[in-house]
Structure 1
Amino acid sequence: MDVLIVGAGPTGLTLGIDLARRGVDALVVERAEGLFPGSRGKGIQPRTQEVFDDLGVLDAIRAAGGPYPVSVIWKDGERVGERPMFEPLTADEGAPYTEPLMIAQWRTQEVLYARLVELGGTVEFGREVTGLEQDAEGVSARFADGTAVRARYVVAADGGRSTVRRAVGVGMTGEAVDPSPFLVADVRVTGLDREHWHVFPGADGTGVMLCPLAGTDDFQLAGKLPEGTELDLSLDGIRKLVAAYTHLDAEDVTELRWASDFRPRTGLAERFRAGRVFLAGDAAHVHSPAGGQGLNTSVQDAYNLGWKLGAVLRDGAPEALLDTYEEERRPNAAAMLGLSTGVHRGEVQRGKATAQLGLGYPGSSLTEDHRTDPTGPCAGDRAPDGTVAGTRLFDAFRGPHWTLLGATAPVAGLPGVVALPAAPESYGPGVFLVRPDGYVGWAGDSADGLGAYLARVGIR
């Protein structure tokens, strides 16, 4: 086996999809008996929508979810104000997706799982990893049932309490974001419209919110309670909480479908790679849920790692390419931790800052820009959408290949590269090589020197 992915959350499923379409022999294992049942990470940011477009799941994600509603604020049973949850961003040709989508995490995982199966991938449920050993050739993972598997690489996508991370001795440092107890639950409620996100502020910054989950009959209940509160996650406990903070009666909560409690904290793994083991998603970084950055950053981890594993395992790229995963993703994760904490504390507005369209890898060793007077996107930036000779760039980018804009001769006959004769006017003059994950890897005034870069990333 080439890759063992531990954890069938959004991170593991996204990576499984990317490897499956590259013909990499990968297995996803999950200790639970099925997919995660709750709504927890319900926001799909614009950049993640672009990733899902490439992976062939965006239409299904859109069909399963919907837009975020405007929030309405209640006091003593009366509406006292409204506000949008996100500052508006204007879509243009380069960024066609600017509004976050709301979709319950369990539905996102259902869509990703269906796509993985469609591509021939496999998830084995009820398979708990208890330990592993690695050597120069691969990794042996042990399971709770006494069995073991051998893989060339292992990816830990098994959450903030990652067994795999502990097994390889990688520490995680962080801080408490808020000492108050929080809860999140999926409930059925009567007496509230489904056109608004209902906010019920309490004293001293406490309160609850009831958000209709697009594409379902449920509401997501989120609550911040006073320090020292003992949370009761039973139906009776949830009913008492709703009755205490809202104008609803306890019986208006007709069903409790899932509930969890937490205290917001941050955590960042000291390393994202330990030999042949990679950390991704919550196994590598833990966020406050505010601003919807955790799931989205995790998907970006998988998207970054997938093409690099494929290049090494299938295309003959040098193994050193895998070192750039930590080089690129750990600084981005650290930045997202700061952003999500800022949103939680009310210091950062949801919108442009949380859309993740401005993230890139300008300082990466994979980034080369040789233009004398660059305009438009630079190497390391996200490659914007556009049109070239009637072809939409996002359509041209879709798939596991690289895309060359503005030249054809340097890549004629090379596998894994699609060439278009020009770049859109918005890119400015030059030649641009777009990575499989949608970032400009190389740019130049001409194609001179491109061949050396192609060889460095395994394209020959």
Structure 2
Amino acid sequence: MNETLDVLIAGAGPAGTTLAIDLARRGLAVRIVDKAPHSFEGSRAKGIQPRTLEVFDDLGVLDDVLAGSSDYPRLGIHLGPVTVPWRMFRNRDRTAEVPHPNTRLMPQYRTDSVLHDRLERLGGKVEYGRELLGFAQDGTSVTATVTGDSGTERITARYLVGADGGSSAVRKHLGVGFLGETREGDRMLIVDAVTTGLPDHRWHVWPGAQGRFVGACPLPHTDLFQWMIRLSPGEEPPDGEDAITRRIRAHTRNRHLAVRDIRWRSVFRPNIRLAEAYGRGRVFLAGDAAHVHTPAGAQGLNTGIQDAYNLGWKLAQVLAGADPRLLDSYEAERLPIAAGVLGLSTKKYEGIAKLDPAGLRRGKDEQQLALTYHGGPLAPGGTDRTATLQVGDRAPDNELSGSRLFDAYRGPHFTLVACGSEAAAASDELGWPAAGAPLRRITVDARHFRRSYGIEGDTLLLVRPDGYLGHIATRDFLGSTRAAARAMTPVAG
């Protein structure tokens, strides 16, 4: 009889691999399968937002991401013989609260590679060429049928997570509706290719009639551009170097441009869809399996990674003995976020075609630093708060003596931050279960920390493993913190 896994993950893109990394570092038994024969080779999703950089810092891949990426280049909008410069992002200086304030540009194949390397260092590995055909679940486990070159296998796991893209087999087998639209008449050819006749210090855009534009984005640390060619209704997408070059020249009226050595080509249709549920029973959805976006605003990949980051610690806690109702908070917290992001990315996409400055500009909404779970099941209203923060908000970084708060938060644990002598005494007294995520206790009383966190008196803060505030206590430090922790931790033995 096959051994029962903790979690089986279908889909080894950024969301699925992020989840596998988070679970593996918690010591769980995980397998991750993908029906593709090998890792993704295209650039596709290429923007990495500041909040995702913080997630990558926690997961131990930030240095590789920063080394393989760049800041976003300025736009060059070509209007006949004139090129108008436009800054899509206003580069910001790092602050004590936000150590990575700027969106980074990195092709998806490199993001996938960094994540896969990290998973392998943790002892895991993506099983390519393994397609999930179906599954059945009961009250204790899920048994999936997976097939590949080596035959068909039945895999039993406590939980199954479908991170297998917009056409998710897991979602379809689960019978979860995928609400929204696919704009069949709006197609864009995406091509990664070596390009001659084009400087690589700008992201180039050539607007056209009726929103038909051509764009070319330089991919950092390569000799490639990602070309985006919005096709006319009924137009046959050009194929091959010569045909694509002719199409580019016809639109740009620049005979010096040419593409060669095409690495990846795809025809994209805007999908704007949201799953009606993030899971049922012991099966969950994450990433594109739960929501698909237009590419504008670089939201899809980032939202999927943060789905996985939200789900990972909750699965681990329930597997360690926490109340299974903790997993209900996954959908309650993440589905409203995805709905809001869908609206944002759709608005940005529609603005690009019109060269609407609001559609071209990127700002704090896209960076996902201000997303909050306030009002959700783990962050009810009416609880203590500080002058600037509520339960459910992202816990900001801050400078400590020789280190940073994020250094203390980094890892698969909860963090208890005490400010003031009464809070510190309660921190020392708080018991914590031996099972599940451990607790790290720190005391901070620096003036700049108090100012940043809006702390006016003694305060005890419980930071969740995903870096969000799980509790704020300004009075009844011990009793209220125990009650909040009880919803997120195993019962103490």
Q: What is the TM-score when the length of structure 1 is the normalising length?
A: 0.95
Tell me the equivalent position of 1:403: 415
In the alignment, is residue 286 of structure 1 matched against residue 292 of structure 2? yes
Do 2:163 and 2:289's aligned partners in 1 also have CA atoms closer than 8 Å?
Answer: yes
Q: 1:421 aligns with which of 443, 456, 464?
A: 443
Q: 1:2 aligns with which of 3, 6, 25?
A: 6
CA distance in 2, matches of 1:369, 1:215: 47
Q: Does the residue aligned with 1:147 lie in a helix, a strand or coil?
A: strand
CA distance in 2, matches of 1:159, 1:237: 30
Aligned residue identity for 1:66 = S
Aligned residue identity for 2:118 = R
Do 1:186 and 1:258's aligned partners in 2 also have CA atoms closer than 8 Å?
Answer: yes
In the alignment, is residue 384 of structure 1 matched against residue 387 of structure 2? no
Distance apart, 1:147 and its partner CA: 2.0
CA 1:244–1:410 in structure 2 vs 1: closer, same or farther (change >3 Å)? farther
CA distance in 1, matches of 2:66, 2:288: 24
CA distance in 2, matches of 1:54, 1:189: 37
Runs of 4+ in 1 over 3 A off after TM superposition: 87-91, 176-179, 247-251, 368-373, 388-391, 410-415
Aligned residue identity for 1:132 = F
In the alignment, is residue 21 of structure 1 matched against residue 18 of structure 2? no
Q: Does the residue aligned with 1:50 lie in a helix, a strand or coil?
A: helix
In the alignment, is residue 270 of structure 1 matched against residue 264 of structure 2? no
Tell me the equivalent position of 1:336: 341
Tell me the equivalent position of 1:305: 311
Tell me the equivalent position of 1:458: 489
Q: Does the residue aligned with 2:152 lie in a helix, a strand or coil?
A: coil
Aligned residue identity for 2:470 = G
Do 2:196 and 2:256's aligned partners in 1 also have CA atoms closer than 8 Å?
Answer: no
CA distance in 2, matches of 1:49, 1:140: 35
Q: 2:104 aligns with which of 89, 93, 101?
A: 101
1:314-325 to 2 correspondences below 5 Å = 315-325=320-330
Listed as ranges, the gaps of 5+ residues in structure 2 are 352-357, 419-423
Structure 1, residues 330-378: CA drift from partner, whole Å, max 9, x if none? 0000010001011112255311110001111001111157665631221
Distance apart, 1:280 and its partner CA: 0.4
CA distance in 2, matches of 1:84, 1:411: 50
CA 1:143–1:237 in structure 2 vs 1: closer, same or farther (change >3 Å)? farther
Alignment RMSD: 1.8
1:187-198 to 2 correspondences below 5 Å = 187-198=193-204
Distance apart, 1:88 and its partner CA: 4.2
Listed as ranges, the gaps of 5+ residues in structure 1 are none
1:218-297 to 2 correspondences below 5 Å = 218-249=224-255, 252-297=258-303
Distance apart, 1:275 and its partner CA: 1.0
Tell me the equivalent position of 2:122: 119
Do 1:140 and 1:151's aligned partners in 2 also have CA atoms closer than 8 Å?
Answer: yes
In the alignment, is residue 184 of structure 1 matched against residue 196 of structure 2? no
Structure 1, residues 32-61: CA drift from partner, whole Å, max 9, x if none? 111111000000000000000000001000
Structure 1, residues 223-272: CA drift from partner, whole Å, max 9, x if none? 21222222134333322221212244487212211011121121000100
In the alignment, is residue 151 of structure 1 matched against residue 157 of structure 2? yes
Q: Does the residue aligned with 2:406 lie in a helix, a strand or coil?
A: helix
Tell me the equivalent position of 2:372: 360
Q: What is the TM-score when the length of structure 2 is the normalising length?
A: 0.89
Moved more, 446-455 or 3-12: 446-455
Moved more, 141-150 or 27-36: 141-150
CA distance in 2, matches of 1:259, 1:4: 31
Aligned residue identity for 2:469 = V
In the alignment, is residue 32 of structure 1 matched against residue 32 of structure 2? no
Matched residue count: 458
In the alignment, is residue 138 of structure 1 matched against residue 157 of structure 2? no
CA distance in 2, matches of 1:311, 1:98: 31
In the alignment, is residue 440 of structure 1 matched against residue 459 of structure 2? no
Do 2:375 and 2:381's aligned partners in 1 also have CA atoms closer than 8 Å?
Answer: no
CA distance in 1, matches of 2:382, 2:93: 31
Moved more, 176-185 or 47-56: 176-185
Do 1:156 and 1:277's aligned partners in 2 also have CA atoms closer than 8 Å?
Answer: yes
Aligned residue identity for 1:381 = D
Do 2:195 and 2:224's aligned partners in 1 also have CA atoms closer than 8 Å?
Answer: yes
Do 1:370 and 1:445's aligned partners in 2 also have CA atoms closer than 8 Å?
Answer: no
Do 1:371 and 1:445's aligned partners in 2 also have CA atoms closer than 8 Å?
Answer: no
Do 1:240 and 1:250's aligned partners in 2 also have CA atoms closer than 8 Å?
Answer: no
Distance apart, 1:204 and its partner CA: 1.7
